[in-house]
Structure 1
Amino acid sequence: MSPVAQQAWTWFKRLAPWALAALVLALVARQARTVEWPAVWLALQALSIVQLLTAAGLALLSYGLVASFDLIGRRLTGHTLSAPRTLATAAISYAFNLNFGALVGGFGLRLRLYMRGGLSAPTVAQVIAHSMVTNWLGYLWVGGVVLLWAPPRLTGDWAQSDIALRAIGAAMIALALVYLALCGWSRQRELSWHGHTLALPGGRVALLQALLGGASWLLIGAIAWSLFGTRIDYPAVLGALLLAAVAGVLTHVPAGLGVLEAVFVATLGNRLPATEVLATVLAYRAAYYLMPLALALPAYAWSEAAARRGRRAE
């Protein structure tokens, strides 16, 4: 590659994510201006208590499953922090991560809580890395299957052809299989990326990562689906959720505020009135984002108070 072409490619890699983020946010703003918000409130009131309680129960179960990702990092790094404390740290951090962004919850808070338990920063970084791999490995194969089997029907400015979505789905599954193959048969036991290294687990642990990560996304999809009831089939809801997750990551908006709602409307707005879709997504946000945060905040406050008492006692 010539120096000019290499420089152009470098600039493209820097600017492309921001351009895509700007496009998504512009579409979100355009969608928000067309919403009849009083009708959304009426649709939200129509949700049954059974639906809300089911969503809340599934959300708590989902957090337990996501927290278990850190147990894989515990095994692979060999750190001695107890399993219950590892699970509690992961669950609190995940609630902060979803609502305030990865830098706050996924990295900053996790680092603080784990290092308070005696772990070194490099060990915490490995635990976080293995948790992220578990999450996105599950996303790859679940999302790939959804795009191949039942590609979402996007509307308006979001529309994409089924051929393009199925091609993306096939590529996602291929990436997941490459990771499993590397873990199972590669002689090179580390992956390197921009100066960062990740120790590859064995094939059985990698398979466990794929199963746990995939089960997590399927369960998150079930939370949203339980709120839609029988009005929309599960694959369609799951597909909308998976697209919204990527859009939220690309835009760097904490909690995917507005992005989540816009993607669901763009994906499912041809099956239900937009006001009903928005009402359901707001209920999903309350169950999966806000309720766990309401539990995580006092748990974190208690942790901080306990740490201060311990320092005074020394």
Structure 2
Amino acid sequence: MAKPPKALVNILIPALLLSAAAWVLWRELHELPPARIAAAAASLTPARLVAAAVLSLAGYGLLGVNEQIALRWLGSKVSWGRGIWTSFVAHALANSLGMAALVGGAVRVGMLAREGVSVAQSAVVTVYAAVSFGLGLAALAGLSFLVAPPEAFAVLHAPAGPLRLLGGLLVAGPFAYLAACALVRGRLVLFGHELSLPPLWLGLTQFGFGLTDVILAAVLMWLVLPGEPPPLANFAGAYLTAMAAGLFSGVPGGLGVFEGALVALLPQVDRANLTAAMLAYRIFFYLLPLAIAAPPLAAGLFRRGRNPAKLTPTEDPP
């Protein structure tokens, strides 16, 4: 029997996961009056909203600092302002549009070329950024599986044993990576691809920035949860599991999958409050950075179209 084309599988699996998440959300929230959600959102104080915006932008800024460290390791001295802005635009577009490696990599190639950064170096930075996030998410999500109470696994309709084993493997992953950074010299062949691992100090830097990035995002959403939120540690466990589900679903931004998992994992939280928090989280973590990055980027593309002879294909927006 012939196997289905890989491209078809890559479309069907996210579509099925998105459909399942939509069904979970509809089942849990379809009887929820919009007025209750609006009232919950309106209860958020200006101080909380400002703090959420600051946390979001600080997280994106730290990602830029992390990538600047990688660029200097590669021997490219891009100015701090240009490097952090490039990282901000790359993550803002990639987080919202999905296909993070492809979208973020294309943005970095286009915006860093004028700084003398080669396509290969931009590709390394893209992989470096993805690995940083993966290390932080793996460690924290794995820890959440290891310490989660049995009730959490019952909500997921999954046996505790395999998920705890998965948690152990996830926690072990970052430490295996760091060990490889310390011990492996030269190029490493993995799945037919040659890789050069960073030195241990840079691997530790990735791990630290990855942990900080994930923690800031979890705190941001906890901060915009109206009413009396659950303890941060309990909320973070559900958030990390939902984040991992959204990431692996292949759906852009984990839209629907992330929310569906959160609804299932936080049955004790008022549905109106949780819905308001999910909307606020999308605004601050996805739409706010996109709103900042998109206008100057679009202006730059418009100028290129108007003056193709004066601007290079890789010229950055003003």
Measure how far apart 1:15 and its partner are.
8.7
| Correspondence for 1:219 among 198, 213, 216 | 216
Q: Distance in 1 between matches of 2:157 and 2:65?
A: 36
Q: Structure 2 stretches of 5 or more lacking a match?
A: 313-318
Measure how far apart 1:73 and its partner are.
2.3
Measure how far apart 1:133 and its partner are.
1.2
Q: 1:140 to 1:155 in 2, by over 3 A?
A: closer
SS in structure 1 opposite 2:94?
helix
**1:140-171 C-alpha deviation (Å, 9 max, x unpaired):** 21222222223695488733343333221110
**1:33-54 C-alpha deviation (Å, 9 max, x unpaired):** 2322513233222222222111
Measure how far apart 1:297 and its partner are.
1.2
Structure 2 counterpart of 1:4: none
Structure 2 counterpart of 1:149: 147
User: Is the Cα–Cα contact under 8 Å of residues 182 and 200 in structure 2 kept in the other structure?
Assistant: yes
Aligned residue-pair number: 305
Measure how far apart 1:304 and its partner are.
4.3
Aligned-pair RMSD on alpha carbons? Answer: 3.1
| Correspondence for 1:206 among 193, 203, 206 | 203
Structure 2 counterpart of 1:3: none
Between stretches 118-127 and 239-248, larger displacement belongs to 239-248
SS in structure 1 opposite 2:194?
strand
SS in structure 1 opposite 2:77?
coil
| Correspondence for 2:73 among 45, 53, 76 | 76
Measure how far apart 1:282 and its partner are.
0.6
Q: Which amino acid aligns with 1:175?
A: G
Q: Distance in 2 between matches of 1:49 and 1:278?
A: 19
**1:196-228 C-alpha deviation (Å, 9 max, x unpaired):** 333111111111111111111111111011112
Q: 1:210 to 1:273 in 2, by over 3 A?
A: same
Q: Distance in 2 between matches of 1:47 and 1:21?
A: 33
Q: 1:123 to 1:32 in 2, by over 3 A?
A: same
Structure 2 counterpart of 1:160: 158
Q: Distance in 2 between matches of 1:219 and 1:26?
A: 29
SS in structure 2 opposite 1:85?
helix
Structure 2 counterpart of 1:278: 275
Q: Distance in 2 between matches of 1:298 and 1:281?
A: 25
| Correspondence for 2:294 among 292, 297, 305 | 297
Q: Distance in 1 between matches of 2:279 and 2:153?
A: 20
Q: 1:277 to 1:191 in 2, by over 3 A?
A: farther
Q: 1:181 to 1:17 in 2, by over 3 A?
A: farther
Q: Structure 1 stretches of 5 or more lacking a match?
A: 1-6
Q: 1:217 to 1:184 in 2, by over 3 A?
A: same
**1:107-162 C-alpha deviation (Å, 9 max, x unpaired):** 22222212243322111111111111111111121222222223695488733343
Q: Which amino acid aligns with 2:289?
A: P
Between stretches 174-183 and 299-308, larger displacement belongs to 299-308
Between stretches 218-227 and 163-172, larger displacement belongs to 163-172
Which contiguous aligned blocks of 4+ residues in structure 1 show a shift greater than 4 angstroms?
10-20, 151-157, 302-311
TM-score of the pair, normalised by structure 2 = 0.84
User: Is the Cα–Cα contact under 8 Å of residues 40 and 276 in structure 1 kept in the other structure?
Assistant: yes
User: Is the Cα–Cα contact under 8 Å of residues 155 and 265 in structure 2 kept in the other structure?
Assistant: no
Give the percent of matched residue pairs that are identical in Structure 1 and Structure 2: 30
Q: 1:14 to 1:238 in 2, by over 3 A?
A: farther
Q: Which amino acid aligns with 1:243?
A: T
